Structure 1
Amino acid sequence: MTDGPGETDRHMLESLVCPVTQGRLSYDAAAQELISATAHLAFPIRNGIPIMIASEARELE
């Protein structure tokens, strides 16, 4: 169940891990991204679907 149309299910997000490091992800609701601090990557969430592909991730500075 989602929070509303086009929104992401928080329980699902809590079960995801970084595909690169297998570490925890933090959710940035404003940017609609899942952040892997260890890998320095931000994985986008598009139309409520997390895109967990390293080549689609944005590198963090």
Structure 2
Amino acid sequence: MLDKALMEILACPKCKGDVHYNEQNSGLVCDSCQLEYPIRDDIPVMLIDEAKSLSA
């Protein structure tokens, strides 16, 4: 789990919206963009090119 203070300042790099932690996939999800940003070695990878699309 990421630090609470870090979670408060992280934002989606695409839309600048809020992200939330997805425990099942161990990533950060932006509901607006339907993207999930991976977390590798406890470091969020906030790059649009690295994000996985959640839309069908």
TM range (shorter): 0.7 to 0.9
Unpaired stretches in structure 2, ≥5 consecutive residues: none
User: Per-residue deviation at 1:13?
Assistant: 1.9
* Matched residue, 1:25: 19
Cα distance in 2, alignment partners of residues 25 and 8 from structure 1: 12
Paired amino acid for 2:36: A
Who wins on radius of gyration, i.e. which is larger? Answer: 1
Root-mean-square deviation (CA, aligned residues, Å) is 1.2
Residue-pair matches, total: 55
How far apart are 1:31 and its partner, in Å? 1.3
**TM-score, normalised on structure 2?**
0.86
Q: Report the secondary structure of 2:8's partner residue.
A: helix
Structure 1 residue ranges (4+ consecutive) displaced by more than 6 angstroms after TM superposition: none
Structure 1 residue 42: Cα displacement: 0.2
| Mapping of residues 1-61 of structure 1, within 5 Å | 7-61=1-55
- Structure 1 segments unaligned to the other structure (5+ residues): 1-6
